[in-house]
Structure 1
Amino acid sequence: MSNQQLLAPILNFLHCQTPDEWVQEAVKPENLPELLLDHLMCELKAGQTAMFLMRKYALDKSSCDVVMKWFEPYEQYVYKKVGSMEELAKYNPPLKKVVANSDDPFAQSLVDKMMLLIKEELHHFYQVLEIMEQRGIEYRNIRAGRYAKGMMKHVITHEPNTLIDKLIIGAYIEARSCERFAKIAPLLDDDLNKFYTSLLRSEARHYQDYLALAEMVAGKDISERIRFFGEVEAELILSADPDFKFHSGIPLSS
């Protein structure tokens, strides 16, 4: 499948494309450290989100403990500056110990899809870290942008709607990531171009997985709710944003 074929359903799903103003800011050499730092944190947060969904909706106590331990080396490295890249490279989480807490088809599907997502996101995290080291970009703490919070504040607070909304939001985040990787890849140097292009397939699948899970939980047509979050997401992307991040809106400097 070509990249164009891969992107077609994503561009149809999103309510807008990334504005040129953001692209122009993203490819400035002086903004690369901020872009990579935020991308690094996005990969970790994507994995953590998948972990939280599994823990809350699909795992028993012992499996919850297992998935929490997967993230310890990464969280220690990021939040406490403990450990090294060499240790992360050797780390191999025990994936086989995780089982669904019921015979519900949704629980098993959630576990299967989120386990694969976590494995890929943590691998991407390490890849970004490698790129940063090669380019002499040191890790530092940065504050989160408004993007995810801007969608999460609209989540309905009773189940199963809470879960459905979170899964729809997950689909939009993954779809936007894929769209932006495709936008900036051809405008960056060869190594970054290859790296971002290599991420397209997994990000496209993640968006589809989240959407399929949302539809499975709902058991009914949720197109109106999907449309609602599509409009919220587009507003965040198309409005002025004082904070440049991987998922930020139009830079104020524009």
Structure 2
Amino acid sequence: MQQLLAPINEFLGCETPNSWIEHARQPQQLTDLLIDHCNCELKAAQTAMMMVRKYAIDKSSANILKIWAKPYEDFVYSQARDAHAFLNRDVKKNDITNELVANHRLSISADLLSKMIKLIKEEFHHFEQVLQIMTTRGIDYSNMRAGTYAKQLISHVRTHEPLTIVDKLIVGAFIEARSCERFAKIAPHLDDELGKFYISLLRSEARHYQDYLSLAQDVAAEDISDRIAYFRVQEAALIMADDTEFRFHSGVPV
């Protein structure tokens, strides 16, 4: 695990403060932690899907992605959601990868498509895993308002291409890296089931961070170290800032 985390800790500008860990480990925070984590997994899938639709595929393939995401979005946005029915629904095992057609907007469109589809599959799976844990524990899913962490990072993205996609990919790398770091930090303080589950997520989250970063470097076709350093400062500032809301990616609890 230390080998896995070493490059992530080096990539991030700070560690999660102990005050966040102490707050997150309190039993009364478990419901909020799991609901926000569940929402984060779906948001990660949706973000990757939007990137694929915008940069990597044609219109017919975009419709295939919409159909793929529909059961998840129907569940999340329904007022009469049924977690048991959703988790036990009949799921088609067909792999949609071969149905998607990469466009030629970017030189890395095919690689972006391949990496992001794998990421989306895993994030959808993680969403279902968290939802299953919540359901088993009698915790109802709810549309908890997202924290400001991702929105504030995105606010620093440059507004003209190809700089926009480079920045979006770097932001994705930081979000995935921070998720991985926090899973490792909080796991020892949770019950055995949750602790093992969070440790099981480390490898995929670490790969997601690496995929985002390698795609950013490839599409930029020039050194992006300065841009990474810029976002490292912004991300660390958010993590170390006082925060009145407790979320999986929130700052120091007030």
**TM superposition score normalised by structure 1:** 0.95
Q: Does 2:128 correspond to 1:126?
A: yes
CA contact (8 A) 1:47 1:121 kept: yes
Q: 1:70 aligns with which of 63, 68, 71?
A: 68
Is 202-211 or 85-94 further displaced after alignment? 85-94
CA contact (8 A) 2:83 2:131 kept: no
Calculate percent identity across the aligned residue pairs: 57
RMSD after superposition: 1.3
Letter of the 1:17 counterpart: E
Q: Does 2:38 correspond to 1:40?
A: yes
**Inter-partner Cα distance in structure 2 for 1:185 and 1:21:** 15
Aligned length: 250
Query: Which residue in 2 is equivalent to 1:12?
Result: 10
CA contact (8 A) 1:76 1:83 kept: no
Is 119-128 or 97-106 further displaced after alignment? 97-106
**TM superposition score normalised by structure 2:** 0.95
Closer/same/farther in 2, CA of residues 70 and 85 from structure 1, 3 Å limit: farther
Q: 1:196 aligns with which of 190, 195, 198?
A: 198
Deviation of the 1:101 alpha carbon: 1.6
**Inter-partner Cα distance in structure 1 for 2:75 and 2:227:** 37
Deviation of the 1:70 alpha carbon: 1.1
Q: Does 2:58 correspond to 1:60?
A: yes
Q: Which runs of 5+ in 1 are unaligned?
A: none
CA contact (8 A) 2:239 2:252 kept: yes
3-state SS of paired residue (2:77): helix
Query: Which residue in 2 is equivalent to 1:91?
Result: 91
Query: Which residue in 2 is equivalent to 1:21?
Result: 19
Letter of the 1:219 counterpart: A
Q: Which runs of 5+ in 2 are unaligned?
A: none
Q: Does 2:235 correspond to 1:237?
A: no
Map 1:138-157 to 2 at 5 A: 138-157=140-159
Closer/same/farther in 2, CA of residues 137 and 30 from structure 1, 3 Å limit: same
